[in-house]
């Protein structure tokens, strides 16, 4: 992973935390600093549920132009595990998109 990609990854992670999770889901009880990269998002950890998962998916499209509709449900669950995996998916989709 190059330095520029790492920088970009960090930037994506911070947008994911603030705009995709806290603002979009109106999480009133946690700050971006408290959401760690590896915090489990659904069920335990941040405690999001299935309805919020769909909001995250729509938000990925709206904020990053990333469509996840074609990804099978089980695989998508792995991508939506934590901030790190979401940011990696976004970066991967962007990289692929540029190819």
- Toward another protein, which CB reaches closer, 10 or 61? 61
The total of other beta-carbon atoms located within 10 Å of residue 36's CB is 13
Distances in Å between the alpha carbon of 39 and those of 32, 61, 67? 12, 22, 23
Q: State the Cα–Cα distance between residues 46 and 6, nearest whole angstrom.
A: 24
Residues that bind another protein (CB under 8 A): 25-29, 49-52, 54-55, 58, 61-62, 69
Q: Residue 29 or residue 99: which is nearer to another protein going by CB?
A: 29
Nearest-approach distance from CB 47 to another protein, in angstroms: 8
Least spacing, CB of residue 1 vs another protein, in Å: 32
Query: Which CB atom, from 58 or from 78, has the smaller least distance to another protein?
Result: 58
């Amino acid at each position: 992973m190059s330095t520029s990609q790492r920088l970009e990854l960090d930037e994506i992670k911070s947008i994911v935390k603030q705009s995709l999770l806290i603002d979009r889901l109106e999480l009133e009880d946690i700050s971006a600093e408290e959401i760690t990269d590896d915090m489990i998002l659904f069920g335990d950890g941040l405690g999001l549920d299935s309805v919020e998962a769909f909001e995250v998916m729509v938000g990925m499209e709206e904020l990053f132009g990333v469509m996840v509709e074609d990804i099978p449900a089980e695989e998508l669950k792995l991508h939506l595990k934590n901030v790190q995996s979401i940011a990696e998916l976004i970066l991967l989709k962007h990289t692929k998109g540029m190819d």
